[in-house]
């Protein structure tokens, strides 16, 4: 019996180039959190480079755990792991509340270690949530993932710095548009291997086009060291403060919710649906990677949704390709000069490619919704309200401004709020009382009419 495409081992050159394409797609997302937190602390340029390299290194280790797996750890799907952006706000809050800024990173690292270990222990329980994710829920969540990521691409297209005079300039938007056009042309008029690495080629060509416009900065390459290792506890031994631990545990819950949704999405795309065992193993990889990351000066790790779009678009489903990407991340963490090569790609060029990648995720969600029997009023309502709730943080970022900061960690994540809304509405409309008997269209993984534990079945109508 032939191997499933997820377990396929591609030729070395194809493995390397497609793996590098995954790194290019997620690089900006990995380096943004350490840059933001490091700037809030006031780190020197040398320490900021070190922190960024450490996050790349630990992202590679977490990706190895997720794709290759050991024991019952790792979903063994083409899943990229990296620093979760959900932790940025609470980490900067921890920095602001720490009098001696030199203690800020040790406090953050201690909180992440505890949250990671607690999340690891909770993974077998958390994965039980899969039975509440039929197509009407998964399709809604996948669509929300894509929609939530698109503003990131639009931000990249405008430039790296909102305060810069050329932010949103015709030049930046033009570079993004040209990159998008190149990717589309390559996808339309090429075949085989070239078609599969269209995004990587688009990034390379877009970067070359950007040189005459002065949008490409080769300074990081010239200044970067050839070799560097993220020395354990470089910024000091972890410190454990209760308030910081609680805030990072909340982030861990958000991260685990999003990772569950991402695994369900990726399972649909690669045609290997994620069951409870897969999700539990994937969450263990997320949480163990997060617990180990601070040892090497990294932050909390989570699945990267943007790479799901790359899998959906290229149709390359091999987990070993993503493992190769993890190898590049480790090398970049050990070789700052190599890491700086990816940094050369202008943000507008990344934005142009991001439109295709993130739009592909939303399209995959719509494909899943096609199987959710939207001719049923109940399911239409579930999708309509859940999408509306999930889009609130995108269209009205200050909507929850009056809520406590801890609550906003959850509420400001459209993926998390939309996911919770979809699950609850599906229970109310399709499984509690009469709804369970009427919703015969609700299938896998929770069959129509299946009783929720502890909820009595409604009496038959007379």
Q: Comparing C-alpha atoms, which of 124, 413, 83 is closest to residue 283?
A: 124
Residue 222 has pLDDT above 80, yes or no: no
**3-state DSSP helix/strand/coil % of the chain, to nearest 5:** 70, 0, 30
Q: For residue 430, what pLDDT band results from cuts at 50, 70 and 90? A: confident
* Higher pLDDT pick, 425 / 31: 425
Annotate 437-459 with DSSP letters as a single string: HH-TT--SSS-TTPPPTT-PPPP
Name the least confident of 49-53, 105-109, 155-159, 171-175. 49-53
Read off the pLDDT of each residue in 98-103 and give the average, rounded to a whole number: 82
- The tokens describing 434, both together, are 């009469």
Residue 209 has pLDDT above 90, yes or no: yes
By the 8 A CB rule, do 190 and 200 touch? no
Of 158-167, 268-277, 340-349, 387-396, which one has max mean pLDDT? 387-396
Residue 241 has pLDDT above 60, yes or no: yes
By the 8 A CB rule, do 311 and 317 touch? yes
- The tokens describing 331, both together, are 């090398």
- Cα gap 348→345, rounded to integer Å: 9
Helix or strand or coil: residue 1?
coil
By the 8 A CB rule, do 302 and 286 touch? yes
Write down the pLDDT at residue 109: 93
In a domain, 456, yes or no: no
What percent of the chain is predicted at pLDDT more than 90? Answer: 18
Q: For residue 308, what pLDDT band results from cuts at 50, 70 and 90? A: confident
* Alpha carbon separation from 88 to 32, 121, 257 (Å, rounded): 9, 24, 17
Q: Comparing C-alpha atoms, which of 85, 84, 80 is closest to residue 327?
A: 80
Residue 66 has pLDDT above 60, yes or no: yes
- Cα gap 256→287, rounded to integer Å: 8
In a domain, 445, yes or no: no
By the 8 A CB rule, do 14 and 302 touch? no
What DSSP designation does 303 have? E
Q: For residue 196, what pLDDT band results from cuts at 50, 70 and 90? A: low
By the 8 A CB rule, do 182 and 206 touch? yes
- The tokens describing 179, both together, are 């990159």
The whole domain housing 68 covers: 5-438
Sequence-distant (6+) residues with CB within 8 A of 388 are: none
Q: Phi/psi zone of residue 69: left (φ > 0), alpha (ψ -120 to 50 degrees), beta?
A: left
Q: How far apart are the first and last CA of the chain?
A: 53
Write down the pLDDT at residue 315: 80
Q: For residue 444, what pLDDT band results from cuts at 50, 70 and 90? A: very low
- Cα gap 280→6, rounded to integer Å: 18
- The tokens describing 139, both together, are 């399709």
Q: Which residue has the tokens 């056009």?
A: 181
* Higher pLDDT pick, 312 / 107: 107
Write down the pLDDT at residue 153: 83
Of 193-197, 210-214, 405-409, which one has max mean pLDDT? 210-214
Alpha helices in 159-225 (DSSP H): 170-189, 192-196, 198-210, 219-223
Read off the pLDDT of each residue in 298-320 and give the average, rounded to a whole number: 82
In a domain, 452, yes or no: no
Annotate 75-87 with DSSP letters as a single string: --SS--EEE-GGG
Residue 271 has pLDDT above 90, yes or no: no
Find how far residue 120's CA is from the centre of its chain.
19
* Higher pLDDT pick, 64 / 337: 64
Which residues, listed in sequence order, are joined to residue 301 by a DSSP beta bridge? 83
Read off the pLDDT of each residue in 328-355 and give the average, rounded to a whole number: 80
Read off the pLDDT of each residue in 421-436 and give the average, rounded to a whole number: 78
Write down the pLDDT at residue 438: 47
In a domain, 228, yes or no: yes
- The tokens describing 242, both together, are 């209760």
By the 8 A CB rule, do 197 and 187 touch? no
Write down the pLDDT at residue 201: 84
Condensed to tens digits (0 to 9), the pLDDT of residues 386-423 reads 999 989 988 888 898 888 876 776 677 777 788 888 88
In a domain, 326, yes or no: yes
Write down the pLDDT at residue 378: 86
Q: For residue 272, what pLDDT band results from cuts at 50, 70 and 90? A: confident
In a domain, 122, yes or no: yes
- Cα gap 430→438, rounded to integer Å: 7
Write down the pLDDT at residue 434: 54
Write down the pLDDT at residue 215: 81
For the chain, how many structural domains are there in total? 1
Strand 301-303, strand 81-83: pairing: antiparallel
Write down the pLDDT at residue 459: 39
CB count within 10 Å of CB 59 equals 32
In a domain, 459, yes or no: no
The mean pLDDT of the chain is 80
Which residues, listed in sequence order, are joined to residue 83 by a DSSP beta bridge? 301
- Cα gap 458→194, rounded to integer Å: 58
In a domain, 443, yes or no: no
Is the pTM for the entire model greater than 0.75? no
- Cα gap 445→299, rounded to integer Å: 33
Write down the pLDDT at residue 22: 84
């Amino acid at each position: 019996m032939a191997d499933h495409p997820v377990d396929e081992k591609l030729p070395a050159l194809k493995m390397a180039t497609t793996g590098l394409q995954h790194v290019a797609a997620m690089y900006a997302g990995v380096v943004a959190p350490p840059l933001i937190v490091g700037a809030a602390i006031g780190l020197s340029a040398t320490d900021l480079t070190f922190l960024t390299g450490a996050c790349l290194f630990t992202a590679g280790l977490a990706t190895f755990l997720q794709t290759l797996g050991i024991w019952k750890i790792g979903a063994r799907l083409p899943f990229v792991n990296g620093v979760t952006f959900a932790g940025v706000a609470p980490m900067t809050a921890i920095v602001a509340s720490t009098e001696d800024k030199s203690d800020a990173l040790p406090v953050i690292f201690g909180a992440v270690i505890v949250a990671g270990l607690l999340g690891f222990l909770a993974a077998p329980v958390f994965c039980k949530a899969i039975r509440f994710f039929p197509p009407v829920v998964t399709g809604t969540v996948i669509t929300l993932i894509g929609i939530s990521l698109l503003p990131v691409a639009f931000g990249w297209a405008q430039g790296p710095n909102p305060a810069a005079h050329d932010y949103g300039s015709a030049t930046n938007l033009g570079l993004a548009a040209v990159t998008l056009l190149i990717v589309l042309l390559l996808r339309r008029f090429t075949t085989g291997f070239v078609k599969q690495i269209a995004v990587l080629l688009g990034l390379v060509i877009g970067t070359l086009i950007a040189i005459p416009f002065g949008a490409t900065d080769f300074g990081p390459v010239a200044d970067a060291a050839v070799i560097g290792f993220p020395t354990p506890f470089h910024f000091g031994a972890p410190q454990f403060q209760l308030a910081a631990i609680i805030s990072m545990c909340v982030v861990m819950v958000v991260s685990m919710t999003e990772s569950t949704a991402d695994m369900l999405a990726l399972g649909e795309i690669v045609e290997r649906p994620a069951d409870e065992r897969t999700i539990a193993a994937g969450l263990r990889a997320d949480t163990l990677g997060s617990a180990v990351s601070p040892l090497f000066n990294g932050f909390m790790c989570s699945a990267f949704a943007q790479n799901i779009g790359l899998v959906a678009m290229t149709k390359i489903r091999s987990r070993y390709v993503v493992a190769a990407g993890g190898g590049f991340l480790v090398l970049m963490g050990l070789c700052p000069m190599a890491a700086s090569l990816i940094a050369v790609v202008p943000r507008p060029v990344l934005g142009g490619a991001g439109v295709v990648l993130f739009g592909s995720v939303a399209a995959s969600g719509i494909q899943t919704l096609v199987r959710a029997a939207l001719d049923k009023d109940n399911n239409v309502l579930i999708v309509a309200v859940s999408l509306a709730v999930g889009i609130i943080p995108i269209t009205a970022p200050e909507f929850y401004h009056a809520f406590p900061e801890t609550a906003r960690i959850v509420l400001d994540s459209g993926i998390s709020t939309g996911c919770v809304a979809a699950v609850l509405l599906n229970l109310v409309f399709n499984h509690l009382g009469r709804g369970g008997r009427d919703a015969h269209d609700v299938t896998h993984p929770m069959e129509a009419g299946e009783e929720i534990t502890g909820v009595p079945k409604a009496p038959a109508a007379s």
